[in-house]
Amino acid sequence: MCDTAVVVRPGRVLFAKNSDRDPNEAQLLEWQPRRVFAPGATLRCTWLEIPQAGETHAVLLSRPFWMWGAEMGANEHGLVIGNEAVFTRQPYEKTGLTGMDLLRLALERAATAEAAVDVITQLLEGVGQGGGCGHERRGFTYHNSFLIADPTGAFVLETAGRRWAAERVSGARTISNGLTLEPLASDESDRLRTWAAAARRRRHCTQARAARAEDAADMMALLRDHGGERVRWSWLNGALGAPCAHAGGLVVNTQTTASWVSELSPRAVRHWATGTAAPCTSVFKPVAVEAPLELGAAPTDRDDGASLWWRHERWHRAALRDEARWLPHFREERDALEALWLARPPRPAAAFAEAGALVEAWTKRAAGAGPDRRPVWARRYWRERDRRAARASNSDSAAGRVPRREP
């Protein structure tokens, strides 16, 4: 489950996305340069092989560690895309291009939002979408919707099997795991699964916030929204009732594993990414397609104690045990730092280093965080995720002592 928002104003476009996936499904930032390919070259996507384009654009991707495709990203031309799972009445194919594959292919092959719509719809009609999209349940699959933006405008693109509908965006527009474009929505929506995903509730929240958004800081706040002052837990789907999603339900579970904000205009393009889970506990750092960073080893679904994503998890998982105590504890420092960066962005490498030092400090403060105040079903869910990730106890994890376990 995810939430994506775009705001089209005269002369500029704002974009934001939370990528919600399984809690241990680490996500990484990955840079790929512009490339030229020989005629007849092929490309292996997540589940199948397709003809390669003659030339691909440079891209920056935020992608789950195990798949070829990406949840969100940007290319050298200022094109940005985010996708959403949608549940429809159309059959789900056992193999095909995943929504994440389609997103990456559009970034690599299109220079504008309109061209990206064409790339995705041609692949959808010619190859089709399908294949497993889940990490814990690899067979879990869905269809997709997309928000596609460039410095001059944006489009919503929604799909059901090989059917699709697109609409140019005017003003604020958000998508949240449910079809919205007619007649596709009335014809194809799986209403029960859309309801279980709390799609309409979250979209109501994001749409209201996006309508008021004036800058990147507002879009970051949109992604951090819990629907109130505190995280609201449901036995059905954990804390999925607001954009900043936290897993811990008995039926549906999803966790925000990475977040992204972009400011686009014909004069300048700026991107901000967390590279870590839970935007409520993360810092948005400046990133650029043309400025690749060495961020260390790529994470997996095991706590390595060293990668960017898992270092942050030590803080995130300690803080969420008692978020009413710990989130206000660091919010003032985080907001002050981001305000400075938004006014005058530092070099990305310096920003990641400074943010990393702050996360280490917050982790030490939260060591031995005390009682877990989440509902009993949420506590049980997270204990199992920690076990699967081979995570140490809170105190050991905070100190960086993680037990070794073969993958």
- In 10 A of CB 13, how many CB atoms? 23
Beta-carbon contacts of residue 122 (< 8 Å; ≥ 6 apart): none
Q: What one-letter code names the amino acid at 303? A: D
- Token pair, residue 277, equals 């889970």
**Tokens 């994890």 correspond to what residue?**
397
- Cis check for the bond before 183: say yes or no (omega within 30 of 0): yes
- Count H helices, E strands: the chain? 11, 17
Instruction: Tell me how far apart the alpha carbons of residues 347 and 291 are, in angstroms, rounded to a whole number.
Output: 9
Q: Where are the alpha helices (DSSP H) in 42-144?
A: 99-109, 113-126
Catalytic residues: 2
DSSP-derived letter for residue 183 is T
* CB contact at 8 A, 87 and 52: no
Q: What is the three-class DSSP state of 139?
A: coil
248, 238 contact by CB (below 8 A): yes
Closest by CA to 396, choosing from 303, 319, 308, 328, is 303
With CA atoms as reference, report the closest residue to 46 among 110, 96, 117: 96
Nearby residues of 124 by Cβ (< 8 Å), 6 or more positions away: 97, 102, 159, 162, 164
Which value, to the nearest 10 degrees, does the dihedral of the CA atoms of residues 234, 218, 100, 75 take?
Answer: -170
- Give the other-Cβ count within 10 Å of 395's Cβ: 12
What 8-state DSSP symbol labels residue 179? -
Rounded Cα distance between 117 and 352, Å, is 33
